[in-house]
Structure 1
Amino acid sequence: MERRKLGGLGLEVSALGLGTMMMPDNEESVRTIHGALELGVTMFDTADIYGGGFMAGRFGDNERLVGRALKGRRDKAVIATKFGIVTPDLRAHGHPAYVKKSVDASLLQLGIDYIDLYYQHRIDPNTPIEETVGAMAELVQAGKIRYIGLSEAAPEQIRRAHSVHPLTAVETEYPLWSREVEDEVLPVLKELGIGFVPYSPLGRGFLSGQIRTFDDLPADDYRRYYPRFQGENFVKNLEVVSLIEKFAARKGCTPSQLALAWLLAQGEQIVPIPGTKRLDRVRENLGALDVTLSAEELAEIERISPKGIAAGERYPTFLQS
């Protein structure tokens, strides 16, 4: 398994991690996490808000799943989790007292003594980021977390946070067809020596080629509310996926492997965390590590899927901050 370094403080992880957000709390998910670990995946990404109970005020469902699956295997895993989104209005929260309360809850839910990488999930507009990161730095000193990260942070916020305590990683959505981070965020991360962890690197599954019609999404699938999966946007985005599929077929790989290989080629500090609940998908995604793209092929992919090609916003209106 190829390994990559995140940040400048020594964290090293597998070149591809595993996002666990959509995993149901069942034995198949546990087997998938076990299988991923056996295949060489070391980085597992969760959050206190992931799971089915957060809208009822019950946080930690997904953390409990990840903790149960990694029990007895803690020394082989890098566990990343997040705090900072609160219900019922899904607002961002970063007050120092809340940070300290949240980490204790996550440690309990995960059943571990320390968290490897702790992210602020969304930036609180009402709390200076220096105060939030200052509290996180105290958690490092206390041994409750090892490394600090931010999720969906703007360049100025990243700079201010990094001046308080070195950031190890920033996590933001970054699939082939949604590349806003290339304009300002990635240059800042490169300048400051901060790692980058792209979530939804397969466009929430769209780039896998497995979704052909809107009805392929289960009735309770959250993606039904996302603009890129609706109406005319869906049709336009399917046309882009078709081009990616044709290129992947010529290359002798799957669309998912092509999309992940392209992402891995964007920088050595990049560690995508494709999410899945199935072990066969984990195996398929790891096949991206064997896909080498030449400069000419990367240029062709750029022509097929140029910046801004995706139709529709990343999030539905009620989730946009």
Structure 2
Amino acid sequence: MTETAQQRRLGASGPLVSPIGLGFMSFRTGSGPDDQRQATAVVDAALDSGITFFDTADVYGPEHSEILLGRAIRGRRDRVVLATKFGNALDRDSNPGHRRIDGRPEYIRTAIEASLRRLGVDHVDLYYQHRVDPTVPIEDTVGALAELVAAGKVLHLGLSEPGPQTIRRAHAVHPIAAIQSEWSVFTRDIETDTVPVARELGIALVPYSPLGRAWLTGAVHSRGDVSGQRTAHPRFAEENFATNHALAEEVSALAAALGVRPSQVALAWLLGRGDDVIPIPGTRHPEYVRENAGAVGIRLTEDQQERLGKLAEQVAGERSIRPESLGTEAPPKA
């Protein structure tokens, strides 16, 4: 993939970005010298592969991901479209590790300053509300974000996992450039309501976990291959594992027939859903960055697209550990 190959636009008037981005959530265990070397190597591989869209959040680590990414892009900020997120506030004193969803304007103003400091930049290109706060009218939240745009600290706005009516109400206050939601061969529920609303309003779609939380990489064959937070995910539970492994093997079989990697097939399927789709697979390994970037050149037939699309109907287990927090609609403004 070259820097100009098949670029896609973030929203109706947002920047052009590479068709595949890089999610930086994997960098959350620390920000020491070894972490920095690995993070910089991943960013180097991404830029060399033509990837220009980088996604992080203040809660990843917390904070480690922003710190590492900021250092890694130092001196080449002009080559990067940088996205981060706010809204998962940490209670460091009374309940360390506990996160509460916070969409209050006063919190947003402090959150952006902290993110800019950690990233070492004077603005971010895309600023997402990480989760909708069900206690704060979305009009208040987006109104505060619009003030950040006016101040030049944020160039474009995004929402992560919003409900369809929240998207409409937010967009009426200030244009929303991107919606970030889980979307993959294994997870297609946003196609029912989120995707049609986003397309009606000219909003780009940024799938996270586009590789099914590693299921679609071809690397998961037993529960021993699962580590970290994924061990608690419903789709890796013992009662669901065999079903999902069999479905993942179908992706691997198609990849083998095409002479490519399973992850590339999964990403090619998403890219084929529309020119407004920009997946952000995450990894700590440069070789996987290059592999993911190679998906841009893969074209699936209609029959292959349809075959893969049917897999989501058979997946066992919820897509999230906390499904009740996803797609929550904020109350109307009084």
Check whether TM > 0.5.
Answer: yes
Tell me which of 187, 191, 194 is aligned to 2:196: 187
Deviation at 1:62, TM superposition (A): 0.9
Deviation at 1:298, TM superposition (A): 1.5
1:64 alignment partner in structure 2: 67
Tell me whether 32-41 or 294-303 shows the greater mean CA deviation: 294-303
The one-letter amino acid paired with 1:41 is: I
Deviation at 1:73, TM superposition (A): 0.7
> What per-residue deviation string (whole Å, max 9, x for no partner) do you get for residues 274-298 of structure 1?
0001010011111111111122221
**SS, match of residue 197 in structure 1:** strand
The reply to whether residue 97 of structure 1 matches residue 100 of structure 2 is no
Tell me which of 297, 316, 320 is aligned to 1:311: 316
Q: How is 1:1-321 mapped onto 2 (pairs within 5 angstroms)?
A: 1=2, 2-23=6-27, 24=29, 25=31, 26=35, 27-51=37-61, 54=62, 60-88=63-91, 89-218=98-227, 221-303=228-310, 305=311, 307-317=312-322, 320=325
TM-score (norm 1): 0.94
The answer on whether the counterparts of 1:178 and 1:309 sit within 8 Å (CA) in structure 2 is no
The one-letter amino acid paired with 1:5 is: R
Q: Aligned partners of 1:3 and 1:316: how far apart in 2?
A: 33
The one-letter amino acid paired with 1:78 is: V
**SS, match of residue 134 in structure 1:** helix
The answer on whether the counterparts of 2:45 and 2:290 sit within 8 Å (CA) in structure 1 is no
**SS, match of residue 263 in structure 2:** helix
The one-letter amino acid paired with 1:18 is: L
Unaligned runs of 5+ in 1: 55-59
Q: Aligned partners of 1:317 and 1:17: how far apart in 2?
A: 25
The one-letter amino acid paired with 2:50 is: G
**SS, match of residue 267 in structure 1:** coil
Unaligned runs of 5+ in 2: 92-97, 327-334
> What per-residue deviation string (whole Å, max 9, x for no partner) do you get for residues 245-281 of structure 1?
1111112211100000000000100000000010100
Overall identity of the aligned pairs, in %: 45
Q: Aligned partners of 2:190 and 2:106: how far apart in 1?
A: 31
RMSD: 1.4
**SS, match of residue 308 in structure 1:** helix
Deviation at 1:317, TM superposition (A): 4.5
Deviation at 1:309, TM superposition (A): 2.2
CA gap 1:319/1:300 in 2 versus in 1, 3 angstroms: closer
> What per-residue deviation string (whole Å, max 9, x for no partner) do you get for residues 299-321 of structure 1?
22234x1x432211122259846
> What per-residue deviation string (whole Å, max 9, x for no partner) do you get for residues 37-90 of structure 1?
121110100000001xx3xxxxx2110000000000100001100000123442
The answer on whether the counterparts of 1:7 and 1:169 sit within 8 Å (CA) in structure 2 is yes
TM-score (norm 2): 0.90
The answer on whether the counterparts of 1:83 and 1:119 sit within 8 Å (CA) in structure 2 is yes
Aligned pairs, how many?
310
The answer on whether the counterparts of 1:148 and 1:169 sit within 8 Å (CA) in structure 2 is yes
> What per-residue deviation string (whole Å, max 9, x for no partner) do you get for residues 188-238 of structure 1?
0110000010000001111101011111124xx111111111102111100
The answer on whether the counterparts of 1:48 and 1:81 sit within 8 Å (CA) in structure 2 is yes
The one-letter amino acid paired with 1:66 is: L
CA gap 1:315/1:297 in 2 versus in 1, 3 angstroms: closer
